[in-house]
Amino acid sequence: MPRDLDSHLISMSRLRLHNGQDVSCVRFRGSVRKSTEDSFRQRLDESGRRAAHLLVDLSEVEYLCSSGLGILLEQSATQERQGGWLRLISPSQTVSMILRLSGAAASLAWFPAEDEALDDLRGQAA
Amino acid sequence: MSGPGALGRLVTRMREILPAVIRKPEERALALLAVEEAAVNILEHGYQNEAGRPLTIRMSVVEDDRFQVILRDRAPLADITRIAPGDLKELARRRASRGRGLALMRLLTTEMIHRPRPGGGNDLVLLFDANHLTRVVEEHFRNAA
């Protein structure tokens, strides 16, 4: 990762329709640390408001600080209150390790790819 | 100095230095995590996010696979080694938004020492052992398998 991304966080978000249900997808690139945690929180919040189900792609996130972990767990609880969920897509090796070390791995589901995360999402009855 | 960019500079410098002491990248990332959590604690709680305050970080090899990082500040006296860290699993279960930094520092270091500085401020010494970091990684990945 270029060094200038150590203190930067880029995000891309979109809305996906799967089996008749909206799924909000947000992909981050860079690092989640003190200098970028506000942006991380804001982007997650914005994406989470679009749909009850939220996919967060962390494959290009090289670092996640303890505050970032807390933000993810909070957002996960928010999605569940809306009747949905938050699922992680392909966290990088370092982020996976931090999730496991912190115990957060037990509270956050993650999947290797977006389609696998949506496997159990069935269509809603009309 | 504290303020915008301080952590970025710290991370960049640590990335340059750590490979000389820790061979495995995942263990370097964990050592960096502990140091960064300690630095954030000083900037947020010690300096209340005030810019322009001194924070010096020194790293040195103690012996073979052991090394220490000293964070030196001029913040009000605060001995974080006396604070009982939260339980990481319990924090995760409650989905707590804060309180993990100190627990992670404890988990990743073999010892933390606090020394008041003459004239005010704190020295926080983080002692690392590459073998301990290896064990931590193995334990958590084994448990996850």
Query: pLDDT digit string (tens) for B26-67?
Result: 788 889 899 999 998 998 899 998 888 899 988 888 888 888
B88 to A93: CB separation less than 8 angstroms, yes or no: no
pTM above 0.80, yes or no: yes
Percent of chain B residues past pLDDT 90, beyond the cut? 37
The total domain count for chain B is 1
Measured distance CA(A75)–CA(A60) in Å, rounded: 20
Please answer yes or no on whether B92 and A107 come within 8 Å at the CB atom.
yes
* Residue B65 within a domain: yes
**Cβ distance of A97 and B140 shorter than 8 Å:** yes
A-proximal residues of B, 10-29, CB under 8 Å: 11-12, 15, 26, 29
Which domains does chain A possess?
3-110 (3.30.750.24)
* Nearest CA-CA partner of A77 in B104, A93, A117, A69: A69
In this prediction, residues A47-64 reach a mean pLDDT of: 95
Average the pLDDT over A107-113 and give the result. 92
Q: Which domain holds residue B50?
A: 6-144
Average of per-residue pLDDT values in chain B = 86
pLDDT of residue A47: 97
**pLDDT tens digit string along B64-95?**
888 899 999 999 999 999 998 888 888 888 88
Rounded Cα distance, B23 and B137, in Å: 14
CA A126 to chain B, closest CA, distance in angstroms equals: 34
Per-residue DSSP letter, B87: P
CATH number at residue B13: 3.30.565.10
User: Can you give the pLDDT at residue B1?
Assistant: 67
Q: Listing from the earlier edge strand, what are the strands of the sheet with A9-18?
A: A9-18, A21-32, A53-64, A85-89, A109-111
Q: Report yes or no on B82 lying in a domain.
A: yes
For chain B, say whether A111 makes contact (Cβ under 8 Å).
no
pLDDT beyond 70 at B3? no
- On whether residue B74 sits in a domain, the answer given is yes
Asked whether B107 and B135 are in contact (CB, 8 A), the reply is no
**CB spacing of B30 vs A106 below 8 angstroms:** no
Q: Which residues of A touch B30 (CB under 8 A)?
A: 97, 101
Query: Which chain A residues are within 8 Å of B136, Cβ to Cβ?
Result: 101
In a domain? residue B1: no
User: What per-residue confidence (pLDDT) applies to B143?
Assistant: 54
Q: With contact defined as beta carbons under 8 Å apart, do A23 and A79 qualify? A: no
DSSP state of B45: I
Which value does ipTM take for this structure? 0.79
pLDDT recorded at residue A123: 58
pLDDT(A1) > 70: no
**Of B79, B58, B61, B60, the residue nearest B70 (C-alpha):** B58
Residue B95 distance to chain A (closest CA, Å): 5
* B58 belongs to a structural domain: yes
